[in-house]
Amino acid sequence: MKFIDTHCHLTDERLGPVEDVLARAGEAGVVALICATASIPDSAAAAEIAGRYDQVWCTAGIHPHDAKDAGEDYLERLEELAGNPKNVAIGEIGLDYHYDFSPRDVQRRVFAEQLALACRLEKPVAVHTREAFEDTLAVINDVGAGGEKILFHSFTGGPDEAGRVLDIGAYVSYSGIATFKNADAIRAGAVLVPDDRIIIETDAPYLSPEPVRKMQINEPSNVVHVAECLAAVRRTTPETLAEQTTANAIRFFALR
Ligand code: NI
């Protein structure tokens, strides 16, 4: 089976040496990894890692937590980073009203500006949304971003929210959260996602999936557990789920 971990934070030092993480991922069948990013320095570090390893790709973006520290020239910096040959998306960008680490109006402005940049550059977008679902859809609508270029990463919505995301044509990515015992609503939503719009990720080093949830540091090799859980829920085999999600990730991110 071949998997793609479409969202992992390889720049996070808690993961330990990147070579070792990639070796374990390779043994588990992870053939490609997309290093997600949260700030300009983080995006530059991700591009550096992606430059060193064929199977690693990267994004560039300002996380909603970091929106208040984006800096005046951040859009120019992002555009530069997006021009890196290994860059495949703008992200993770969005809104997080759970932590409110940045003021909400600043989060909305920085999200909208990055979405508009992604549209102009014709880049896919990885969206983070937490306790901000309505405003996230409103910003996407206001900017006029096409849903087919948008991936809702580590999706935690239930059937209603999944339906609304699918209605705008977006892709949906599931992480270890979908495997948690109390995540019945998320799994009920995951059943509704068409075969050609579902994607998987780890969000490592966060969110270790069941049955390895006790691992304090999650890592890309664990994407196999996300795939197994979703396959069971969707009444298909892990092999089929792996094929579908890998093909979808290659298409969505235009991996070569
Ligand atoms: Ni993330």
- Give the pLDDT of residue 20: 98
For residue 36, the CA-to-ligand 1 centroid distance in Å is 6
CA 117 from chain centre, in angstroms, equals 18
pLDDT of residue 193: 98
At 104, which amino acid appears? R
Per-residue burial over 221-239, b = 16 or more CB atoms within 10 Å of its CB, e = otherwise: bbbbbbbbbbbebbeeebe
pLDDT in tens, 196-230: 999 999 999 999 999 999 999 999 999 999 999 99
pTM of the model: 0.97
Strand segments, DSSP code E, in 81-176 are: 87-96, 125-130, 150-152, 171-174
**Percent of the chain at pLDDT exceeding 70:** 100
| CA–CA distance, 125 with 92 (Å, rounded to integer) | 7
Residue 135 backbone phi and psi in degrees, to 5: -65, -35
Residue 256 has pLDDT above 90, yes or no: no
**Ligand 1 center to residue 192 CA distance, Å?**
23
CA of 245 to the centre of ligand 1 (A): 18
Residues 6+ apart with CB under 8 A from 35: 8, 9, 10, 11, 46, 49, 50, 56, 57, 58, 59
CA 127 – ligand 1 centroid, Å = 9
Listed residues: CB within 5 A of ion ligand 1: 36, 203
CA 68 to centroid of ligand 1, rounded, Å: 18
For residue 9, report the distance from its CA to the centre of ligand 1, in Å: 6
Coil, helix or strand for 211? coil
**CB burial readout 160-170, b (16+ within 10 A) else e:** ebbeebbeeeb
Give the pLDDT band (50/70/90) at residue 238: very high
**What is the per-residue pLDDT across 128-186, written as a single tens digit (0 to 9) for each?**
999 999 999 999 999 999 999 999 999 999 999 999 999 999 999 999 999 999 999 99
Tokens of 34: 């997309």
Distance 159 CA to ligand 1 centre (A): 22
Domains of the chain (ranges, CATH numbers)? 3-253 (3.20.20.140)
